[in-house]
Amino acid sequence: MNISIIGSGRVGVSLGAVLADSGFSVLMTDKEDKKQEVFGRLSFYETHLSKYLEESQSHLEWTRWTEKIVSSELIFFCLGFPVKKNGDLDLTELFNWARYIVENTKESKILVIKSTVPVGTNRQIQNIIGDKKIAVISCPEFLREGQAIGDLIQPQRIVIGARDKEAGKKLEELYKKISQPKQIVHTDPETAELSKLACNSFLATKISFINEMAGLCEKTQADIEKLRLILGLDSRIGKDFLNPGLGYGGYCLPKDVQLAISEGEKRNQNMELLKTAQKINSSLVNHFFKGIKNHYRKLNNISLVFWGISFKKDTDNLTNSPALKLACKLLKSGVKIHVYDPVFVKEQIFKLFRDRTYPQAENPIKDVFLKIFPPKNELDYLIRKIFEGKCHFHKSALDSLDNRQGLIIGSDWEEFKKIPLEEIKQRLSDPFIVDGRSLLLTEDLKKNKFSFYKRGAVT
C-alpha cells in the first residue's frame, strides 16, 4: 500500500518515520519545501525521531508533485492551521487539498484527518467529495511532544471515526501492523473530532485544579505534596498532571482548550469550567513573579538562572512557554537571565527569528532588529536581551549556577532531579530556588537550608 502524508511537522514526520520503518512506501509533502528538514537535520527536537528517519530513508520520499501525492490509496492529513483573529482555525489548506483530490482522481481512496479540527470538519470534507468513492476518516493524534515515537508504537488508544466501516477496518489493520494499541475505538467522525479537544481540555483543567488547591494550601498551611499523594492514590483521579507550578503551555493544550470553548459557544454552551481553567493558568506566571519579588524586594541587576526554557521536558518548543513568559517578565524588571536547557540553545532562537523575518540572512541582523519597538512577542524580546547582553545561554547546568543569586526550574527535565542540592547550594551566591515544576521535595529544600518558592509550599 502506498501512503501519502500531507504536512511535515512533528506529527507528520513522526508518523512517516514509523510507517516507513515498518516497510511502507511513504510520500511526504508540505506547502513549504521542508525536504532538508525531513531528510537532513530536523528543525525540532523529538526523542528517537532522527534515528527512525535515518534507518527508514529507503522507504521515504519527499515530493512537491501533488499528482504523486493523490495517487496514493491512503492519504493522511497532518496539517497545522493558522488561527484567525476571531480564534477559529483557518482550514483553507485542508479544504483546498480535498478539492484537488476530488478533481484529480478517479480511484477509490481513504483520507485520514490526523489534524485537530473543529467538530463537523469531516462532514464538510465529505460534502466537497460528494459521490466520489473516497472515504473520510477522523483519526485524531494523541501524541505527546518528546514522546511521539513511543506513543505511535504503543498508543494507549486509536480512535477511528468513520462512516465507511470497510475503510475504518482497513485503517485498523494498518495500525495493527505498525503499532501495539491497547484499544481501538470505532466511532462516528463527530465523536472522534471532539475526543481530542475533550482529552486536552480535561488535562488542562486538572493542571488548573491542582494549582487552585496549591493556592489554598498556601493560605491554610496544608501540605500540597501530601495532598497530591492522597489525590493520586485514588484510582478515579490518578497521579498524572497533579504537579502545581507555572501551568500548561505549548501549542496543543492552549489551542484545544480555546477551540473547545469556541465549539461550545457556537452552540450556546457556555463552557464556564474551561474558561475558568484558562483564567487560572494565565495567572500562574504572575504568582511566581510575586514570589521572586517578595524574596529579593528589588529585582534590578539580580542575576538568576533558568533551568529549562521550553514549555515542558523532552522538547525544544517555546510556544506559549510559561518559563519564557516568566523570564521576559523578569528581564523587564532589570533581572539578568542565564539559561541552561538540555536541548534548546541560543542558535535555535536566532533561527526562529531569522526564519520569520530575514530567511535569507546568515545571522540575525542586530542593528535592524534593535530598531523593532516594541517587540512583537516574548521571543522577540528575548532575542533583544541576548543582543543587549542581558540574557546568556550556558552548556552546563552546574556551570550556569556559578555566582548567580537564584535558580528557577522552568521545565521538568529528569536531568534536573539528579543534581545534588548540596552542589547547587555551593554554586549559588544566594541559595534561593524557585521550583516552577514541583520537581523538588519541600522537605529536602528545608533540610539543605534553601530559601525557596514553590506553588502551594509553606516556607
Q: Which residues are the active-site residues? A: 252
Rounded-to-integer distance, Cα 3 and Cα 78, Å: 13
308 neighbors 413 (Cβ within 8 angstroms): yes
Q: Taking the alpha carbons of 160, 163, 169, 171 in that order, is the dihedral positive or negative? A: negative
Return the ∠ at Cα 116 (arms to 115 and 119), rounded to 5°.
Answer: 120
Q: Who's near 322: CB < 8 A, 6+ residues apart?
A: 245, 246, 247, 248, 249, 284, 285, 311, 410, 436
Q: Who's near 248: CB < 8 A, 6+ residues apart?
A: 203, 204, 207, 254, 281, 311, 322
Rounded-to-integer distance, Cα 316 and Cα 342, Å: 9
Rounded-to-integer distance, Cα 380 and Cα 193, Å: 34
29 neighbors 54 (Cβ within 8 angstroms): no
List alpha helices for 75-138, DSSP H.
Answer: 92-103, 121-129
Q: Who's near 1: CB < 8 A, 6+ residues apart?
A: 24, 73, 74, 174
What CA–CA distances, in Å, run from 277 to 123, 189, 204, 250, 285? 30, 27, 7, 16, 14
124 neighbors 113 (Cβ within 8 angstroms): no
Dihedral, 410, 379, 365, 334 alpha carbons, nearest 10: -70
Dihedral, 386, 390, 391, 392 alpha carbons, nearest 10: 90
- Tally of helices (H runs) and strands (E runs) in the chain: 19, 14
213 neighbors 456 (Cβ within 8 angstroms): yes
Rounded-to-integer distance, Cα 159 and Cα 187, Å: 7
Rounded-to-integer distance, Cα 208 and Cα 276, Å: 8
Which residue, 448, 440, 416, is CA-closest to 456?
440
Rounded-to-integer distance, Cα 211 and Cα 281, Å: 8
Residue 396 has what DSSP assignment? -
Rg (CA), the chain: 24
